[in-house]
C-alpha cells in the first residue's frame, strides 16, 4: 500500500486545502457572521478529486475518456455542476431527491459502460436502478445529518470515505489507485470538519450531498464491477446511509451542554462506526494474509499466490 510523502501531499494535503479554501471563501468564514455560500462545497470537492485524479492517473483523461478512470472524473465534474445548481437555486426537496437519483444512476452508467455493454437489458436496468437508489439513500442521509448542524455530517462522511479508501487499498482483490483517489474524499470531509469546528454556522445541506453521494456510489460500483471487489465490502458501504439513519432512531439526549452534545454525537454515529470497523477489520485481515502468503512464496523462491490479484489489475 504505497502511501509515501508524494501520495500524502497529492491525495490528502492538497485536496484538503482546496476544500478548506473554497468553502471558507464561499461562506466568508473570516467574518463573525458567515453568509451562506453552499456553492463552495461542490467546487472544492471536485477540485480535490481532480487533484488526486491527476496524480493517481498520471495525466488528464482524453475527451471522451478511453478508460473507466477517466470517466470517473467526468462523472465527478458533472455531479459538481448539478451540485452547484442545487446550491444556488432553491428547489423543492422532492425535485432535489429525484435529481440525486438520476445523477447517481447516470454517473454509474457512464463509468460502467464497458462492462455493461454485453449485459442483457434486464440486468443493465436492475443494476442501474439499485445503484441509483443507493445514491438517493446517500443523498438523503447526508442532507439529514447536515440539517442537524455541527460536525455530524463531516464526521459521518469522513468515517465512510476513510473506510472505503482503506477497503479499496488493503485487500488483494482491490485497487490501489481507486483507494488513493478515495482518500481525497476523506481529506475533503476532514477539511469540512475542521472548518465547522471554527465556524459552526457553516452548513452542508445543499450542493455537497449531491457531489459526495454521486462520487462515492460510483467509486463503489466501479470497484466491484471492474475488478471484482468483493460484496463483503461493497454492500456495507453502499448501505452506509441505512446505518446513519439507524443512529438517528436511537434516543439521544438534547444538546443542552457540551457533555450532552458529545453523547448525542457518539450515539448518532455508533451504528455506522460498528459496521465500518467490521469492514475495516476484514480488510486488514485479508491484507495480512496476502502479505504472509507473498512472504512465504518469496522464501520458497516461487511466484506470489495465484489467488492474489495481478498488479496490472490492482492499478486500474
Which pLDDT belongs to residue 182?
A: 94
- Joined grid coordinates for residue 84: 452547484
Which pLDDT belongs to residue 293?
A: 67
**Which residue from 184, 231, 159, 228 is spatially nearest to 76, judged by alpha carbons?**
184
Could you tell me if 108 and 217 are in contact, meaning their C-beta atoms sit under 8 angstroms apart? yes
Cα(274)–Cα(21) distance, rounded to whole angstroms?
A: 32
Which pLDDT belongs to residue 310?
A: 38
Per-residue confidence in pLDDT tens, the chain, 316 aa: 457 889 899 999 999 999 999 999 999 887 776 677 899 999 999 999 999 999 999 899 988 888 888 999 999 999 999 999 999 999 999 999 999 999 999 999 999 998 998 899 999 999 999 999 999 999 999 999 999 888 999 999 999 999 999 999 988 767 888 999 999 999 999 999 999 998 888 989 999 999 999 999 999 999 999 887 889 999 999 999 999 999 989 998 888 888 988 999 999 999 999 999 999 999 999 888 877 766 544 444 444 433 334 333 333 4
Give the domain ranges of the chain: 5-314
What pTM was estimated for this model as a whole? Answer: 0.88
Give backbone dihedrals phi and psi of 302, rounded to 5 degrees, phi first.
-110, 175
Q: At what angle do helices 152-169 and 231-238 cross, to 10 degrees?
A: 170
**Which residue from 196, 224, 197 is spatially nearest to 208, judged by alpha carbons?**
196
Which pLDDT belongs to residue 312?
A: 39
Cα(166)–Cα(236) distance, rounded to whole angstroms?
A: 14
Cell 484538503 maps to which residue?
A: 16
Distance between first and last Cα of the chain: 14
* CA count, 13 A, side-chain hemisphere, 73: 23
Could you tell me if 243 and 141 are in contact, meaning their C-beta atoms sit under 8 angstroms apart? no
Residue 192 CB contacts under 8 Å (≥ 6 apart), including other chains: 19, 23, 41, 153, 154, 157, 202, 204, 208
Amino acid at each position: 500500500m504505497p502511501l509515501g510523502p508524494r501520495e500524502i501531499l497529492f491525495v490528502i494535503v492538497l485536496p484538503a486545502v482546496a476544500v478548506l479554501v473554497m468553502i471558507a471563501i464561499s461562506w466568508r468564514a473570516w467574518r463573525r457572521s458567515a453568509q451562506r455560500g453552499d456553492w463552495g462545497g461542490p467546487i472544492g470537492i471536485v477540485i480535490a478529486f481532480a487533484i488526486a485524479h491527476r496524480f493517481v492517473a498520471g495525466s488528464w483523461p482524453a475527451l471522451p475518456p478511453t478508460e473507466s478512470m477517466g470517466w470517473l472524473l467526468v462523472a465527478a465534474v458533472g455531479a459538481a455542476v448539478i451540485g452547484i445548481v442545487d446550491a444556488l437555486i432553491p428547489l423543492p426537496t422532492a425535485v432535489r431527491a429525484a435529481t440525486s437519483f438520476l445523477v447517481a444512476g447516470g454517473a454509474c452508467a457512464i463509468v460502467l459502460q464497458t462492462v455493461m455493454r454485453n449485459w442483457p437489458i434486464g440486468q443493465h436496468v436492475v443494476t442501474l436502478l439499485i445503484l441509483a437508489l443507493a445514491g438517493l439513500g446517500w443523498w438523503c442521509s447526508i442532507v439529514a445529518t447536515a440539517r442537524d448542524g455541527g460536525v455530524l455530517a463531516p464526521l459521518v462522511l469522513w468515517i465512510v470515505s476513510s473506510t472505503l479508501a482503506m477497503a479499496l487499498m488493503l485487500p488483494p482483490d482491490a485497487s490501489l489507485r481507486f483507494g488513493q483517489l478515495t482518500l481525497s474524499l476523506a481529506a475533503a470531509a476532514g477539511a469540512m470538519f475542521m472548518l465547522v469546528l471554527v465556524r459552526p454556522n457553516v452548513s452542508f445541506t445543499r450542493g455537497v450531498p449531491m457531489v459526495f453521494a454521486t462520487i462515492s456510489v460510483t467509486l463503489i460500483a466501479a470497484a466491484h464491477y471492474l475488478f471484482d471487489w468483493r460484496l463483503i465490502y461493497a454492500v456495507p458501504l453502499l448501505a452506509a446511509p441505512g446505518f446513519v439513519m439507524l443512529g438517528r432512531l436511537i434516543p439521544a439526549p438534547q444538546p443542552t451542554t457540551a457533555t450532552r452534545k458529545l453523547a448525542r454525537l457518539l450515539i448518532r454515529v455508533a451504528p455506522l462506526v460498528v459496521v465500518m470497523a467490521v469492514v475495516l477489520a476484514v480488510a486488514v485481515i485479508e491484507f495480512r494474509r496476502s502479505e504472509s502468503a507473498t512472504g512465504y512464496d518469496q522464501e520458497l523462491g516461487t511466484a506470489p499466490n495465484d489467488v492474489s490479484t495481478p498488479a496490472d489489475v490492482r492499478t486500474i
